Chains A and B, each alone.
Chain A
Amino acid sequence: GEDVEQSLFLSVREGDSSVINCTYTDSSSTYLYWYKQEPGAGLQLLTYIFSNMDMKQDQRLTVLLNKKDKHLSLRIADTQTGDSAIYFCAERGANNLFFGTGTRLTVIP
């Protein structure tokens, strides 16, 4: 499978911005996704971006894509305690998605 890498942990203070980073390996055009997993729950799609775009914004969420470096980031503005969760980036393969290990975001009140 493809290699999708993320750091495991991130802590931010409430009200600050969070930036979660991800690197992927597929050089062909593809879709890249960000999922959120709250405690005890399944994964919920947050947003996605096609690899010919470099930015996508959706309310407090901004996705940045550096295709040359194969680097994807998710920025959450004005982070709230309800944003505490595990965030997974995923890369679309031929038949399925390849997931990173997930980044556990902890928001400190």
Chain B
Amino acid sequence: DVKVTQSSRYLVKRTGEKVFLECVQDMDHENMFWYRQDPGLGLRLIYFSYDVKMKEKGDIPEGYSVSREKKERFSLILESASTNQTSMYLCASSSARGTGGQETQYFGPGTRLLVL
């Protein structure tokens, strides 16, 4: 079974703090993704990475950065947390080698971040 884990389920931070969200997958997947989920807005892609040290901006990258130093780990960084970054953050991974529907994404359990 594919396993995607996220470092924290719940996190409370103060405005201006630097925040690290970690994601690890154990299936040797090339692609990894960070989304945020907000009520009524669904999932919005922040950043994704298709290889080590590679990153691409998603739909809402402002206020975020990412790091992919190892294939299994993809970190999301909030350089200076703000209250509008209070959200549920979901990490996902997928294989670039599969064909068809098997290229779907596998999700972690999510990190619920509250910025005060």
Residues of chain A whose beta carbon lies under 8 Å from any beta carbon of chain B:
1, 4, 6, 8, 31, 33, 35, 40-45, 48-50, 88, 92, 95-97, 99-102
Contacts and interface: CB of A to CB of B under 8 A. Distances in A.
A96 B93 CA distance: 10
B59 A43 contact: no
Interface string B14-51: 00000000000000000101010000111101001010
Contact of B103 (A35, A41, A43, A92): A92
A8 B38 CA distance: 13
B16 to A, nearest CB: 28
A41 to B, nearest CB: 6
A102 B41 CA distance: 8
B107 A44 contact: yes
Given A95-B50, A96-B48, A101-B41, A48 B109 contact: no
A50 B101 CA distance: 7
